[in-house]
Amino acid sequence: MGVFGTPQRVLVRGEGCFVWDTHGEKYLDLLGGIAVNSLGHAHPALTSAVTRQMQTLGHVSNFFATEPQIRLAEKLLEIAKAPNGSKVFFANSGTEANEAAFKLARRNQTAQRHRIIAMDGAFHGRSMGALALTAKSAYREPFEPLPAGVEHIPFGDAEALESCVDDTVAAVVLEPIQGEAGVRLVPEGYLALVRRLTQRSGALLIVDEVQTGMGRTGQWLASADIMPDAITLAKGLGGGFPIGALITFGDVVSGLLTAGQHGTTFGGNPVAAAAALATIETIEDLELLAHAHAVGEWLRLSLAAIPGVREVRGRGLLIGFDLEWASAPRLVSQALEEGFIINSTGPHTVRLAPPLIIKQAQLADFLTALPRLLTDVKDPTP
């Protein structure tokens, strides 16, 4: 189907932070499969774990549990600092994890408590429930009517939040950093405010960490300073192997979805769980959280010093930067011709989400090329 547009290249192999196409051309991957390839490509720890698990036990139904699935759930609860009674539901992707979170919100509904609050600029996926939480009209309108009850408010606007969160709200759903909207961070103190308001009103606070979680921002979770009612994860969780998760905090929230109210055939597959465990263990062994924090800070400062770059945002190795001219899509194409994979989220905005293992010297190659690339694609009409 043509839902993705025409592929830019056919890629045949990867190693570390590089991939190669069918013609043997080499590219530095500064997008990491959109924040997925935490360990880069063909990392030996990941490939060994997947191979070992496939040789042992490839799939069972969810009538049974497996050892990797149990170990991964325990590890995620530890990372999230979840209290007793907390649970994990495994899915196959971020949109499926958010679909489960949407149903969790609906289970907190009553006749009076019927509103779900999401944010302008939000992207939570394209399945029907997740799409109802997503804000972009171009994604939503062809499929309306969407599940009802979702209202979008200005992102990061404390006054708008305070005026709408009351005892009619079942849940507030938000990303701590909006990747699709151009890597936009919530203001300082905003997450704590939404936590206070949702606790006071009885609404759930659901944090979408699909893109920001698992070390991408230099922390395991970008929302680590607060304890929400639920977190969704995917992308970097499996290091390239498809897996998502919904974590629910405490026994009350974890009891909202009961037997038969949600499910999945492949979620929690032992091979995917083994891949996620290997990814987490490697991030710990290589101290990639500290690495992502330090390299990301250096990269943001370096980008900000380049003429033509107007604003740089982000945390860790999730970075967005705006150009002075509306030439970001052309920059993406030109950079690909020069051997760099990057991504634009709008006419002015470029997004970078390289593997967490990327070295400063590899990023320096891109920074050296960027001024010339910007000159090549500069729009003569400001």
166 is catalytic: no
CB atoms within 10 A of CB 310: 12
Write down the catalytic residue from 235, 249, 340, 366.
235
Alpha-carbon gap, residue 358 to 300, rounded angstroms: 14
241 DSSP 8-state letter: S
Tokens of 37: 């390839």
Burial of 375 (0-12, 13-18, 19+ CB in 10 A): exposed
DSSP symbols for 286-333? TTHHHHHHHHHHHHHHHHHTSTTEEEEEEETTEEEEEESSS-HHHHHH
Torsion angle of alpha carbons 336, 340, 341, 345, nearest 10°?
-80
What's the chain's length in residues? 382
Write down the catalytic residue from 123, 241, 321, 366.
123
Tokens of 276: 């996620």
At residue 122, φ and ψ (nearest 5 deg) are: -70, 145
Alpha-carbon gap, residue 33 to 331, rounded angstroms: 18
Q: Are strands 87-91 and 244-248 parallel, antiparallel or unpaired?
A: antiparallel
CA-nearest of 216, 267, 213, 240 to 99 is 267
Write down the catalytic residue from 29, 89, 90, 208.
208
Which helix (H) or strand (E) segment is 336 a member of?
helix 328-337
272 DSSP 8-state letter: H
* Distant-in-sequence, close-in-space partners of 222: CB < 8 Å, separation ≥ 6: 176, 177, 209, 212, 213, 216, 315
The set of catalytic residues is 123, 208, 235
